[in-house]
A and B are shown apart, each in its own frame.
Chain A
Amino acid sequence: MGYNCVVCVKQVPDTKRITGQAMKEDGTVNRAALPAIFNPEDLNALEEALRVRDQHGGTVTVIAMGLPAACDVLRDSLFRGADRAILITDRRAAASDTLATSYILSCAVRKLKPDLVFCGRQAIDGDTAQVGPQLAEKLGYTLVTYLEELELDGPMARVKRNIGNGYERVRSRLPALFTVMETANHPRPPALLKALKCKKARAPVEIAKAVDGTLGASATPEAKSAETARRCSDMQTQNLLITQWNLDDIEADLGWCGGAGSPTKVNRIQSIVLAGGDYKEFPPTDSGVASLLGELIQDHTIG
Chain B
Amino acid sequence: MIEVNRKGEVWVFAEQEAGHLSDVPLELLSKGRELADQLGVPLAAVLVGNKVRPLCATLAQHGADLVYLAEDGVLSHYQTASYTRVVCDLITAYKPQICLFGATAIGRDLAPTVASAMKCGLTADCTDLQIGDHTDAQTKEHISKLLLQIRPAFGGNIIATIVNPHRWPQMATVREGVMRMTVAEAGRTGKTIKFPVNLAGVDLPTEVLESQRRAKKVNLKGARIIVAGGAGVGSRDQFRLIWDLANILGGAVGGSRAAVDLGYVDHDHQVGQTGTTVRPALYICCGVSGAVQHRAGMQESAKILAINIDKDAPIFGVAHYGIVGDLNEVIPRMIKTIRSGASLSDAVTGASKA
Contact = CB atoms under 8 A, between A and B. Distances in A.
A142 interface: yes
B199 interface: no
Given A99-B122, A281-B324, A291 B351 contact: yes
Contacts of B166: 263
Interface string A19-33: 110110011010000
A27 B325 contact: no
Nearest to A23: B155
B320 A134 contact: no
A116 interface: no
Interface stretch (A49-57, A63-71, A123-131, A222-230): A123-131
Nearest to B325: A284
Contacts, number: 255
A144 interface: yes
B164 interface: yes
Contact of B119 (A158, A176, A263): A263
B317 A274 contact: yes
A126 B84 CA distance: 24
A266 B160 contact: yes
Nearest to A274: B317
Contacts of A146: 105
B158 interface: yes
B164 A263 contact: yes
A298 B157 CA distance: 35
Given A145-B109, A169-B210, A265-B165, A16 B258 contact: yes
Given A29-B155, A274-B317, A289-B334, 13 more contacts: A27-B160, A99-B115, A130-B122, A169-B208, A172-B207, A263-B167, A280-B320, A281-B323, A282-B322, A291-B351, A293-B344, A294-B347, A297-B348
Interface of B: 1, 80-81, 84, 104-106, 108-109, 111-113, 115-117, 119-125, 132, 134, 136-137, 146, 148-149, 153-167, 205-216, 225, 249, 258, 274, 281-282, 292, 302-303, 305-306, 314, 316-326, 329-330, 333-334, 337-338, 343-344, 346-352, 354
Interface stretch (A73-81, A159-167, A184-192, A197-205): A159-167
Instruction: Place the interface of chain A in its size category.
Output: 35 or more
B212 A168 contact: yes
A284 B321 contact: no
A217 interface: no
A99 B119 contact: yes
Nearest to B231: A16
Interface of A: 13, 15-16, 18-20, 22-23, 26-27, 29, 97-99, 102, 125-134, 136-138, 142-146, 158, 163-173, 176, 262-272, 274-298, 301-302
15 contacts: A13-B154, A98-B112, A130-B115, A130-B122, A145-B108, A170-B206, A263-B164, A266-B162, A281-B323, A283-B323, A289-B330, A292-B305, A297-B344, A301-B282, A301-B302
Contacts of A99: 115-116, 119-122
Contact of B122 (A98, A132, A167, A272): A98
Given A163-B213, A170-B206, A280-B320, A267 B163 contact: yes
A40 B53 CA distance: 42
Contact of B116 (A19, A23, A102, A176): A102
Given A170-B207, A280-B320, A281-B324, A302 B249 contact: yes
Nearest to A145: B109
Contacts of A163: 105-106, 213
A293 B212 contact: no
A132 B115 CA distance: 12
A142 B206 contact: yes
Contact of A263 (B106, B121, B281, B314): B121
A277 B333 CA distance: 24
A301 B226 CA distance: 12
A16 B164 CA distance: 29
A164 B24 CA distance: 15
A119 to B, nearest CB: 12
Contacts of A132: 112
A296 B274 CA distance: 30
Give 10 closest A-B pairs by Cβ, nearest first. Answer: A284-B325, A274-B317, A263-B121, A294-B347, A290-B347, A294-B351, A166-B213, A264-B121, A134-B116, A137-B116
